[in-house]
């Protein structure tokens, strides 16, 4: 945890440094969590035997200063910690061997330690665990009645005291704080309570508890009374409002005795393939009232927020306190109403907004008072008197009563609501067209804008600002147009150099598609339309919605895609890159996607066609993996992306619409954007992927092709009883059932019953076994796509595969019916999509999709190029120069955005000071605006200098140097701001000065860089 050294004594600081260099080696006090990772709630009747327990004696000192007690495998530590902000210390359990380890349990939440040097953790004469502050006062102690003889810090983070017989007589899991760990029981008498702020672990206002009336759901409550979110009723295997629980991958949830006062709920971890432990996880009620699940990603060393509720911060009741307005689009969700300020600036900076806001000035109760418009907001907590009248009538009635603090008025209906009391739970509703009540707050006379000056000043300012802005916009447009004309490449009816790709104009494609009227489908990258060229050739036109690159980058990527030619890959005929339009033209596939033939009421494919589709698809993917110049990972293999031409030849689509990464990387941290049901298990834990991810998706698709059904649909018994797919029936996950039958040798039970006996038994057996080999949990056990082709063709013998462990977990206990989908909600695993064509993947809005930003850079979804040596097992990583070069490119884009923002905001800064002064605003606000106006000058100069610097460095292939200049320019203002505001204590004036200093330093530094580089390399390089 970070320590504010300036706020602690020199002795404490030296003790802390010594503890880091010479860590105290208290006995490892641990006990393995049960070997099968299941949990039985510990009670005094559960004896625990451990040879690693610590025998305790009266007055036995366990911890002093910065010493700690570590758990087995060094997963958790017990010791005194300082969360920061204040010189307060707490006895806490936290993760070990993790940078900035989160605290999961705090003993003395309500009574912090103020002097660590005179405090220790010891066993009292009564055998209780206690925090003692010399000369003998007790800060906290355990509640056990029987004398403790030994102490354990278990591997799951549970601190337990044991009797002489080895029975648990006290455990920390019975007294949770804000964090819920695997194995920890939540009962009707135990709840999770948030911290007060990020630096204060004392109990906050938000808590998670079991509903005390029905004992059937969890609920988040404010101040132990106001419920603002719940999980919904328990259905037997999940909660109504948490459908994500229906597909267990790593964790298993248990609800004992629901609907009774003795109800208890806990979750456990599932062991992964090969005996590997799942990643560390924890649920937390955070300081802003959201319940979040975090998962530790070991490879990247960060906590990934896997899930959170409520998803909208402003649904948290009372988050911003009185007179605070919540806006979920802001990084800090709470702001005070105009004319108000936070009750405690320190609490707001620490993330605790519940204290709310107070008026900047005195409470007003004079007839000369006025009203200031706040905007369209919703609220709770105040009394209102409603009547119909004009706004002037509303104001007159409110001014006649000192208890009236403001009013709401709807200009359309003339409905007036005078407000009495304090406003709580204000939420910004300006985007809600159904809510038109505007809030006006009562303010003293000096806080009112002088109406006689405002109109003229605002008119002059608006006209002047508009002229400047229009001039800047016109100039930029002229420059861009001139550059486009000068640098315009091959357009119109030309042919892309070196490739048989035609360059179409946007007008040509509009005519070919009849104004983009005949829509074939909509994929993850954009919509697809049918078109007809002038020579009567039918094509499919994909219009990219989020191209993510400039014209040069787009053409380079098109060049790469155009070079990929194979009979089982959809061919690219041409493209269009006019202005912001990015369109790709593909061959039209008359027989549509494979998914159209996997509906029970749809078209049927004979066995010969199915087998050809299976082999052809495998050949296409194998070509991408093993025969291209650059090995390409598709990342989204599924029936929607396998198209059929007029001869029912399989064509793999959507293989080239993504970011291309250098070929010397064996593994790729790709953007996590696969379709649920086809995503390989290694993606879930956030690790890097290889070509084996495509093998897994192909295996899932092969099972669907073999069975003639989607991964999720009605079970065979429902259809056999005359049920139809459209009827509302229980849905089931097909792959576990299919894998079980295939391993048992009963392939006939999996083959599409529409085929009857008209299929080759030997080929079906090969297809089935290959499918199960492809969906193995471990990527090392999956074959390569080249081997898959040989296995399907019978060149290589196919042995009986082992059962996939994850699928086996799904069929255990409640068989394959354990994964149920409510058809009424339209949930689809694997995509229940309409037809699509020519390189598009139609994704219905109900598809479950993973999105995880790539650590390398912002790129398009998931085309990954890896080196061929990497496929042989040698692991290559991004080198430092490559990372620096990537950083340089993205920094350049950031600077361009910042430059445009400053360009358009500069008139606002220039006009800020005179307008604020003329409109009667407070003097300090006007002065502050003037200081920030001065800051624009060095910043604009710095940005202007940055462009020739960029060009020079790019010309010299020194993009890495550019990266660090950009990095310095972004970080330095933050560092200087921190020094002036927090260290030098100059306040708002320091903020303005910091921007001045940082802006000039960056500008002058870049001038020096430019001059030195120009003299060294020559002026010719600047071109």
Can you give 618-677 as a three-state secondary structure string? HHHHHHHHHHCCCEEECCCCCHHHEEECCCCCEEECCCCCCCCCCCCCCCECCCCCCECC
Burial of 331 (0-12, 13-18, 19+ CB in 10 A): exposed
Q: For 865-906, what is each residue's pLDDT tens digit? A: 333 333 333 333 445 544 554 455 445 545 555 555 555 445
Residues 6+ apart with CB under 8 A from 323: 336, 337, 340, 356, 357, 358, 422, 423, 426
Q: pLDDT band at residue 50, thresholds of 50, 70 and 90? A: very low
**Could you tell me what percent of the chain has a pLDDT over 90?**
25
Encoding tokens for residue 466? 């508009």
Cα dist from 138 to 57, 120, 380, 517, 850, whole Å: 18, 10, 43, 78, 50
Cβ–Cβ < 8 Å for 266, 257: no
User: Residues within the annotated binding site for ATP?
Assistant: 542
Query: In angstroms, rounded to a whole number, what is the distance separating the alpha carbons of residues 138 and 723?
Result: 70
3-state secondary structure of 50: coil
Alpha-carbon distance of 425 to 380, in angstroms, equals 6
pLDDT band, residue 142 (cuts 50/70/90): very high
Residue 895 makes CB contacts below 8 A (sequence gap 6+) with: 943, 946, 950, 966, 969
The more confident residue out of 368 and 46 is: 368
pLDDT tens digits for 911-964? 555 555 555 544 444 455 545 444 555 555 555 555 555 554 444 444 455 555
Burial of 787 per CB tally in 10 Å (0-12, 13-18, 19+)? middle
pLDDT at 615: 96
Cis amide linkage into residue 878, ω under 30° from 0: no
End-to-end CA distance of the chain: 50
The dihedral region occupied by 886, where left means phi > 0, alpha psi between -120 and 50, and beta the remainder, is: alpha
Name residue 253's beta-bridge partners: 267
Nearest to 633 by CA among 619, 622, 644: 622
Pick out the residues of the known binding site: 542
d(CA 302, CA 627) in angstroms, rounded, equals 36
701 contacts: CB under 8 Å, gap ≥ 6: 594, 617, 637, 638, 639, 642, 678
pLDDT at 786: 94
Query: 349: exposed, middle or buried (C-beta count within 10 Å: 0-12, 13-18, 19+)?
Result: middle
What is the Cα–Cα distance from 501 to 564, expressed in whole angstroms?
12
Q: Return the closest-CA partner of residue 103 out of 68, 147, 143.
A: 68
Write down the pLDDT at residue 285. Answer: 95
CA–CA dist 478, 336 (Å, integer): 43
Tell me whether strands 404-410 and 324-326 are parallel, antiparallel or unpaired. Answer: unpaired
Which pLDDT score is estimated for 790? Answer: 95
- Do 53 and 29 meet the contact criterion of CB atoms below 8 Å apart? yes
pLDDT, the chain, mean: 72
Dump pLDDT digits (tens) for 515-563: 998 888 876 667 889 999 988 899 999 888 755 555 666 776 677 778 8
Identify whether the C-beta of residue 874 lies closer than 8 Å to the C-beta of residue 667: no
Active-site annotation, residues: 636
Q: Kindly indicate the confidence band of residue 312, based on its pLDDT and cuts at 50, 70 and 90.
A: confident
Would you call the peptide bond into 310 cis, given omega within 30 degrees of 0 as the criterion?
Answer: yes
Q: Kindly tell me if the per-residue pLDDT of 752 is higher than 70.
A: yes
Top mean pLDDT of 32-41, 197-206, 409-418, 594-603 is at 197-206
**Cα–Cα dist 700/745, whole Å:** 18
In the structure encoding, which two tokens stand for residue 871, read together? 């496929």
- Where do runs of H (alpha helix) occur along 487-606? 506-512, 551-562
H helix count then E strand count, the chain: 19, 46
| One-character DSSP codes across 744-761 | TT-GGGTS-GGGTT-S-H
Token pair 């109760």 is found at 365
Please give the helix or strand (H or E) that residue 228 lies within, else none.
Answer: strand 226-230
Output the pLDDT for position 252: 84
The larger pLDDT score, comparing residue 973 to residue 636, is at 636
Q: How far apart are CA 342 and CA 32, in angstroms?
A: 48
Given a cut of 60, whether residue 691 has pLDDT beyond it is yes
3-state secondary structure of 172: helix
DSSP label of 362: P
The one-character DSSP state at 804 is P
Listed residue (892, 872, 1000, 900) closest to 953, CA to CA: 892
- Mean pLDDT calculated for residue range 252-271: 88
Of 48, 265, 294, the C-alpha closest to 158 is 48
Tell me what the mean pLDDT of segment 169-173 comes to.
Answer: 95
Retrieve residue 714's tokens.
């009605």
Cα separation, 675 vs 758, in Å, equals: 32
Kind of pairing between the strands at 76-81 and 90-95: antiparallel
Q: Which two tokens stand for residue 249?
A: 């991958």
Q: Is the pTM of this model over 0.85?
A: no
Query: 112 or 431: which carries more pLDDT confidence?
Result: 112
Cα distance between residue 355 and residue 347, in whole Å: 8
């Amino acid at each position: 945890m970070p320590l504010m050294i300036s706020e602690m004594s020199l002795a404490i600081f030296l003790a802390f440094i010594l503890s880091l260099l010479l860590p105290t080696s208290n006995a490892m006090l641990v006990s393995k969590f049960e070997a099968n990772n299941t949990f039985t709630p510990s009670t005094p009747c559960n004896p625990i035997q451990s040879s690693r327990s610590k025998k305790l004696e009266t007055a036995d000192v366990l911890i002093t200063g910065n010493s700690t007690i570590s758990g087995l495998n060094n997963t958790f530590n017990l010791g005194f910690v300082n969360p920061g902000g204040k010189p307060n210390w707490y006895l806490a359990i936290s993760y070990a061997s993790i940078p900035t380890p989160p605290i999961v349990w705090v003993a003395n939440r309500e009574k912090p330690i103020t002097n660590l040097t005179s405090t220790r953790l010891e066993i009292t004469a009564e055998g209780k665990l206690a925090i003692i502050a010399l000369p003998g006062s007790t800060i906290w102690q355990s509640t056990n009645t029987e004398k403790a003889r030994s102490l354990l810090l278990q591997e799951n983070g549970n601190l337990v005291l044991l009797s002489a017989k080895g029975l648990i007589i006290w455990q920390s899991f019975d007294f949770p704080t804000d964090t819920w760990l695997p194995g920890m029981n939540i009962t009707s008498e135990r709840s999770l309570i948030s911290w007060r702020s990020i630096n204060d672990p004392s109990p906050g206002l938000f808590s998670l508890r079991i509903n005390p009336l029905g004992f059937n759901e969890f609920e988040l409550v404010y101040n132990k009374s106001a419920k603002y979110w719940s999980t919904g009723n328990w259905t037997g295997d999940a909660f109504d409002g948490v459908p994500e629980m229906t597909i267990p991958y790593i964790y298993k949830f248990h609800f004992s005795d629901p609907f009774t006062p003795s109800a208890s709920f806990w979750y456990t971890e599932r062991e992964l393939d090969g005996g590997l432990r799942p990643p560390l996880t924890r649920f937390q009620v955070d300081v802003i009232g959201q319940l979040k699940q975090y998962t530790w990603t070991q490879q990247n060393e960060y906590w990934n927020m896997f899930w959170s509720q409520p998803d909208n911060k402003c649904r948290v009741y009372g988050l911003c306190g009185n007179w605070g307005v919540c806006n979920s689009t802001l990084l800090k969700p709470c702001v005070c109403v105009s004319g108000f300020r936070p009750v405690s600036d320190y609490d707001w900076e620490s993330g605790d907004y519940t204290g709310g806001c107070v008026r900047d000035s005195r409470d007003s109760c004079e007839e000369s008072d006025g009203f200031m418009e706040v905007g369209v907001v919703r609220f709770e907590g105040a009394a209102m008197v409603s009547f119909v009248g004009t706004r002037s009538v509303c104001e007159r009635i409110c001014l006649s009563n000192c208890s009236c603090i403001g009013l709401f008025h709807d200009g359309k209906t003339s409905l007036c609501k005078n407000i009495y009391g304090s406003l709580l739970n204000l939420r910004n509703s300006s985007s809600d067209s159904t809510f038109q009540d505007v809030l006006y707050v009562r303010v003293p006379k000096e806080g009112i804008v002088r109406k006689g000056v405002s109109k003229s000043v605002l008119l002059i300012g608006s006209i002047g600002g508009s002229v400047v802005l229009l001039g800047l916009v016109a100039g930029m447009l002229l420059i861009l147009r001139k550059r486009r004309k000068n640098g315009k490449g091959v357009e119109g009816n030309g042919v892309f150099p070196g490739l048989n790709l035609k360059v179409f104009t946007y007008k040509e494609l509009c005519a070919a598609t009849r104004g983009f009227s005949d829509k074939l489908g909509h994929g993850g990258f954009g919509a697809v339309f049918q078109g007809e060229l002038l020579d009567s050739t039918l094509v499919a036109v994909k219009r990219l919605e989020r191209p993510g690159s400039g014209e040069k980058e787009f053409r380079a990527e098109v060049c790469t895609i155009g070079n990929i030619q194979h009979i089982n890959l959809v061919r690219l005929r041409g493209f269009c890159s006019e202005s912001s339009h990015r369109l790709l033209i593909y061959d039209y596939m008359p027989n549509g996607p494979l998914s159209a033939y996997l509906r029970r009421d749809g078209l049927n494919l004979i066995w010969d066609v199915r087998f050809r589709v299976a082999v052809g698809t495998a050949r296409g993917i194998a070509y991408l993996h093993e025969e291209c110049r650059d090995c390409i990972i598709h990342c989204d293999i599924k029936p929607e992306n396998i198209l059929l031409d007029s001869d029912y030849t399989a064509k793999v689509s959507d293989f080239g619409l993504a970011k291309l990464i250098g070929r010397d990387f064996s593994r790729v941290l790709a953007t996590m954007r696969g379709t649920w049901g086809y995503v390989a298990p290694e993606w879930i834990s956030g690790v890097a992927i290889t070509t084996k991810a495509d093998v897994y998706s192909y295996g899932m698709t092969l099972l669907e092709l073999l069975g003639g059904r989607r991964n999720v649909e009605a079970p065979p018994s429902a259809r056999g009883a005359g049920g139809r797919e459209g009827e509302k029936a229980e849905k089931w996950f097909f792959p576990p059932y299919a894998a079980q039958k295939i391993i048992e040798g009963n392939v006939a039970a999996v083959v599409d019953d529409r085929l009857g006996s008209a299929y080759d038994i030997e080929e079906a057996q090969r297809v089935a076994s290959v499918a199960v080999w492809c969906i193995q949990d471990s990527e090392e056990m999956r074959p390569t796509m080249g081997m898959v082709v040989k296995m399907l063709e019978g060149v290589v013998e196919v042995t009986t595969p082992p059962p996939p462990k994850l699928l086996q977990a799904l069929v255990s206990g409640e068989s394959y019916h354990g994964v149920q989908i409510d058809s009424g909600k339209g949930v689809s695993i694997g995509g229940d999509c309409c037809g699509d064509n020519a390189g598009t993947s139609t994704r219905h809005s109900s598809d479950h999709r993973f999105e995880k930003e790539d650590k390398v850079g912002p790129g398009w979804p998931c085309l990954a190029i890896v080196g061929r040596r990497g496929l042989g097992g040698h692991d290559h990583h991004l080198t430092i120069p490559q990372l620096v070069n990537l950083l340089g490119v993205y920094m350049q884009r950031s600077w361009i955005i910042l430059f445009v923002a400053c360009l358009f905001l500069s008139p606002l800064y220039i006009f800020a000071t005179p307008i604020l002064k003329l409109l009667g605003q407070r003097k300090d606000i006007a002065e502050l605006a003037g200081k920030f106006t001065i800051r624009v000058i060095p910043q604009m100069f710095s940005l202007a200098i940055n462009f020739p610097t960029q060009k020079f460095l790019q010309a010299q292939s020194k993009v890495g140097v550019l990266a660090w200049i950009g990095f310095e320019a972004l970080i330095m203002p933050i560092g200087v701001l921190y020094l002036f505001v927090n260290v030098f204590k100059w306040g708002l004036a320091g903020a303005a000065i910091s921007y001045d200093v940082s802006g000039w330093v960056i500008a002058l530094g870049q001038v020096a860089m430019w001059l030195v580089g120009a003299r060294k390399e020559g002026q010719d390089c600047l071109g």
